[in-house]
Amino acid sequence: TFIHSVKLGELQYMHDTAVCVDKHGKIVAIEPQCDLSNVTEALCQKLSWDAHDLAITITKEGQFFFPGFIDTHIHAPQYPNVGIFGKSTLLDWLNKYTFPMEASLESLPKARRVYTSCVRRTLAHGTTTAAYYATIHVATTNLLADLCHAMGQRAFVGRVCMDSADVNPAYYRDESADESLSRTRASIAHIRNIDPSYALICPILTPRFAPSCTRDAMAQLGALRCSSGLPVQTHISENAAELALVKAMFPECGSYADVYDKYSLLGARTVLGHAIHLTDYEINLISERGAGVAHCPCSNSALTSGEAPVRRLLDAGVGVGLGTDVSGGYSASVLEAVRSAALVSNHRAMPMGKWAETPAEERERAKLSVEEVLHLATRGGAGVLGIADRVGGFEVGMEWDAQLVGLGLVDECPDECDMRDHGNVDVFGWEAWDERVAKWVFNGDDRNVKKVWVRGRLVHERK
């Protein structure tokens, strides 16, 4: 059984199906209505393959293949801080927890431990693609790229640019715009060296957020974006105090989105984290420029940032993916972000507080279904990162980035079962497939992720 999103709100269930992947990790055939007894012969004949060269994975009852998750916004150096945020909000959280931890990741041995754990953990949760913010340090940013490459995760890796003396502490910032750019170029060169065609590991320009950057640095990054075609990631409109700061620091710009637009940082393959408190003008501008949004519901709840207007973004034609935003977000699991996205969207539908004045019909429309949030976690994220032609679904010509999901079948549970092994999802057998998927979304975790592949390579297996 293969399940994937075909469009926003619609999952396709392909049962008794074979998906054939060649040695380059490409899907070369999808055969529906397979007869297990002669599937090997039939496929070898069709593809002119030798049966000896074939490796077959057959799902067990209750298992299904799902596209690998795409985390469009995660800070690898903040991984040791997951769950640690107290009652802080963005700006004090940055100073209290985040900048000290990131600064300490200048240490290569420490970075190796942290980044290895982070990549291993996210793979175990079924994340086949991650857009990582690293730190300002070139050597350890490059190490993160090396580790993703070695462990087989598809990744966008960005050295964080932060050269302003206003918000960034003296112990953790680039000395100047020129230094910020030369360090960024050094990291890009390293990544090009390990993966010349950027097939799996791609650099990403990463101005932390407008308040962290000088105009000079943003202008140079914008020029680099235009000349290189590289993707960009940054934060936008996350928190009220941040908005006031941007207004005070960039009085010449009409809005937060205008700041990025002014410096040519807003376009296709620009990933904007959070995007909570945007005006209609900004949403339209982002849509016109073709930039996308990384929706980070776990983080937005943890740091009391707000509830992002996902339906309005989608209605305006803005691409939306999901981000864990570790460690503003308390979990490295995209599935956690998936269910959180559903719940947060329900909050916008309740006639309370800020939303009480919103007409009932519009409030109801704000709700995101299981099918919709799973779309955001796969095809939506792929679109935002500009890789929708390669990953996010099961189609001939796309690459095999997938997870094998197994739910707990109660009848197969041995008498001495101690409930440890099969996770938190009990399937009785009478559930329809859409009901099984809903149970997985709301109660699943990494125990249900049995195997994970990126571009055909097995990169995680749950023993």
Binding site for Fe ion (CB under 5 A): 273, 325
Q: How far is the CB of 133 from Fe ion (least distance, A)?
A: 7
Among 163, 174, 238, 282, binds ligand GUN (CB under 6 A): 238
- Residue 208 binds ligand GUN, judged by CB under 6 A: yes
* C-alpha to C-alpha distance for 316 and 322, rounded to whole angstroms: 17
CA quadruple 425, 427, 428, 433: dihedral positive or negative?
Answer: positive
Q: Which does 238 bind (CB under 5 to 8 A by kind): ligand GUN, Fe ion, none?
A: ligand GUN
Q: Which does 20 bind (CB under 5 to 8 A by kind): Fe ion, ligand GUN, none?
A: none
Give the footprint of ligand GUN on residues 263-302 (CB under 6 A).
299
Among 319, 323, 328, 444, binds ligand GUN (CB under 6 A): 328
- Residue 340 binds ligand GUN, judged by CB under 6 A: no
- Residue 98 binds ligand GUN, judged by CB under 6 A: yes
Opening angle at CA 301, ends 300 and 306, nearest 5: 55
| Residues sharing a CB contact under 8 Å with residue 402, sequence separation 6 or more, in sequence order | 65, 66, 67, 68, 128, 394, 452, 453
Q: Which helix (H) or strand (E) holds 110?
A: helix 108-124
Reduced to 3 states (helix: H, G, I; strand: E, B; else coil), residue 1 is coil
- Residue 75 binds ligand GUN, judged by CB under 6 A: yes
Q: Which does 311 bind (CB under 5 to 8 A by kind): ligand GUN, Fe ion, none?
A: none
CA 280 to chain centre: 25
* C-alpha to C-alpha distance for 286 and 318, rounded to whole angstroms: 7
Q: Which does 209 bind (CB under 5 to 8 A by kind): Fe ion, ligand GUN, none?
A: ligand GUN
Q: How far is the CB of 288 from Fe ion (least distance, A)?
A: 24
Burial 159-177 (b: 16+ CB within 10 A, else e): bbbbbbeebbeeebbbeeb
How far apart, in Å, are the Cα atoms of 171 and each of 106, 136, 141, 168?
Answer: 11, 11, 18, 8
Beta strands 27-31 and 292-295, pairing class? unpaired
Opening angle at CA 421, ends 440 and 120, nearest 5: 75
For ligand GUN, which stretch binds (CB under 6 A), given 90-98, 169-177, 256-264, 354-362?
90-98
Q: Which residue has the tokens 């598809």?
A: 154
How far apart, in Å, are the Cα atoms of 133 and each of 95, 130, 145, 181, 371?
Answer: 17, 10, 11, 16, 28
| Residues sharing a CB contact under 8 Å with residue 80, sequence separation 6 or more, in sequence order | 101, 114, 327
- Residue 214 binds ligand GUN, judged by CB under 6 A: no
* Residue 140 DSSP label: H
Q: How far is the CB of 273 from ligand GUN (least distance, A)?
A: 7
* Residue 40 DSSP label: H
Among 154, 183, 225, 235, binds ligand GUN (CB under 6 A): 235
Q: Which residue, 74 or 191, has its beta carbon nearer to ligand GUN?
A: 74
Q: Which does 168 bind (CB under 5 to 8 A by kind): Fe ion, ligand GUN, none?
A: none
- Residue 158 binds ligand GUN, judged by CB under 6 A: no
The residue number whose beta carbon is nearest to ligand GUN equals 328
- Residue 325 binds ligand GUN, judged by CB under 6 A: yes
Q: Which does 208 bind (CB under 5 to 8 A by kind): ligand GUN, Fe ion, none?
A: ligand GUN
Question: How many residues make up the chain in this entry?
Answer: 463
Q: How far is the CB of 235 from ligand GUN (least distance, A)?
A: 4
- Residue 209 binds ligand GUN, judged by CB under 6 A: yes
**Peptide bond before 37: cis, by omega within 30 degrees of 0?**
no
Q: How far is the CB of 145 from ligand GUN (least distance, A)?
A: 19
Q: And the tokens for 1? A: 């059984």
Q: How far is the CB of 302 from Fe ion (least distance, A)?
A: 11
Number of residues that bind ligand GUN (CB under 6 A): 11
Q: How far is the CB of 74 from Fe ion (least distance, A)?
A: 8
Opening angle at CA 334, ends 328 and 336, nearest 5: 75
Q: Which residues bind ligand GUN (CB under 6 A)?
A: 75, 90, 94, 98, 208-209, 235, 238, 299, 325, 328
